[in-house]
Amino acid sequence: MILEYQQLVTRMELIPRDIILSDDFNYVLVGLRRVGKSYLLYQHIQHLIDKGYSSEEILYFNFEDDRLSGFTLQDLDLLKVCYEELYAHKPVFFLDEIQNVQGWEHFARRLADQKYRVYLTGSNAKMLSMEIAGTLGGRYMIQRVFPYSFREYLMASKVQLPANWRYSPVRSEVARLFEVYFRSGGLPEVQPVEPVMRRQWLNNLYNKIFFGDILARFNIRNIIALKTLVKKLAESVKQPSSYNRLANIVSSVGKKIRVETVADYLEYIEESCLIFSFENYAGKIVDKVTNKKYYFMDNGILNLFLFDPETSLLENLVAISLHSKYEDVCFYNHNVEVDFYLWEQETAIQVAYSLADDETRKREINALCKMSEHCDVKQMFIITKDEKETIVSSGHTIQVLPIWEWLLMP
């Protein structure tokens, strides 16, 4: 199996991701189910081969292989011994779905202590929790893996962007593919699925996350409350949601639920990588914790819950893009509300489907200008579905960009 996997992973055809792993750290890859964690391992293996490593120096194992059923902690050590009997090299370990081996974290810690280079992936349902990250004792970097960016989606669709793509025939293809990406999301495995089957594929994935990564993992018995909470989060992606408000809404449709339970459920859902959250930059400490904005990690999954999805999908996609690139993302809500504020970048971003309505236009512009009176803001954007212009107001320059163009900015 060692030899078989070496041949498999070095010959795998890949679509390169915009995620670079350092050769100097050990990693645990975390992310939504089917987001491409395993393929990121394959990409790094091929990176090492290109750098001059031989295939013999790679020790990859996928512990979902049925031939490894019943593999134990002692067998993990046997795997290392078997490799050492084959080769004199010190291997680089790539252990995929390692959570299937009870006590795997002890082996992972020992490898790190012995200065092996190690890369791990595992199921959110059993492994990638804060508790497990703590048991690794700071020996591993946590690398978040996101769905395809729009640029990666185009690459996977074999669309090459020339320098002047906005003025070339490829622009119409970019616009067409964006509409698919906008509604179906960026999970790599959904892209080749037939359009009529994509919703079913996404619904099956959501059920695996709901029942496996959340319900079973955390032994939740109030299924109706959890389902209602997820649905309400989907309906509320454009506005802050407090623990109290969510508890009242969930209690109104079924069995009464405590505020503390809602807080626990939100933590579980976020830990499954189904959602993520941003705090209010202008909020007090309690408000920052209890009154956040929640977004879904993939537009395709969010779209399962929405009847009139356009504006919600637009803001959610902006949130995903920012979350994948920056650590300082928040929103601003103090007398006025601004959708996103990157305080380290000194950048404020509003999202509006269209500025054709005068009231909408005034509201979005005024919010950015008023916020700048209290925060450091050097760049202002309004992200729309299709509109583009430059607005000058109160001494500020605001760039209005269509989302598909903003997503492809460097």
pLDDT bin (cut points 50, 70, 90) of residue 186 is very high
Q: Are residues 141 and 84 in the same domain?
A: yes
Domain membership of residue 278 (yes or no) is: yes
Q: Are residues 20 and 136 in the same domain?
A: yes
Q: Are residues 246 and 338 in the same domain?
A: no
Q: Are residues 201 and 298 in the same domain?
A: yes
As a 3-state breakdown, the chain gives helix, strand, coil percent values, each rounded to 5, of 50, 20, 35
Q: Are residues 17 and 135 in the same domain?
A: yes
Domain membership of residue 167 (yes or no) is: no
Give the domain CATH number at 289: 1.10.10.10
pLDDT bin (cut points 50, 70, 90) of residue 131 is low
Q: Are residues 17 and 106 in the same domain?
A: yes
Domain membership of residue 241 (yes or no) is: yes
Q: Which of 117, 145, 173 is the last residue of a domain?
A: 145
Q: Are residues 287 and 341 in the same domain?
A: no
Range of the domain at 127: 2-145
Q: Are residues 371 and 336 in the same domain?
A: yes
> DSSP 3-state assignment of 71?
coil
Domain membership of residue 49 (yes or no) is: yes
Alpha helices, H only, 87-169: 104-113, 130-135, 150-156
Domain membership of residue 224 (yes or no) is: yes
Domain membership of residue 159 (yes or no) is: no
49-53, 161-165, 271-275, range with the lowest pLDDT: 161-165
Domain membership of residue 383 (yes or no) is: yes
- Phi/psi region, residue 176 (left: phi>0; alpha: psi -120 to 50; beta: rest), is alpha
Tokens for 205? 């994935």
| Model pLDDT for residues 65-122, shown as the tens digit of each residue | 999 989 999 999 999 999 999 999 999 999 998 888 888 989 999 999 999 999 999 7
Pairing verdict, β 275-278 and 291-296: antiparallel
Domain membership of residue 173 (yes or no) is: no
| Model pLDDT for residues 139-154, shown as the tens digit of each residue | 888 888 999 999 999 9
Q: Which of 256, 291, 318 is the last residue of a domain?
A: 318
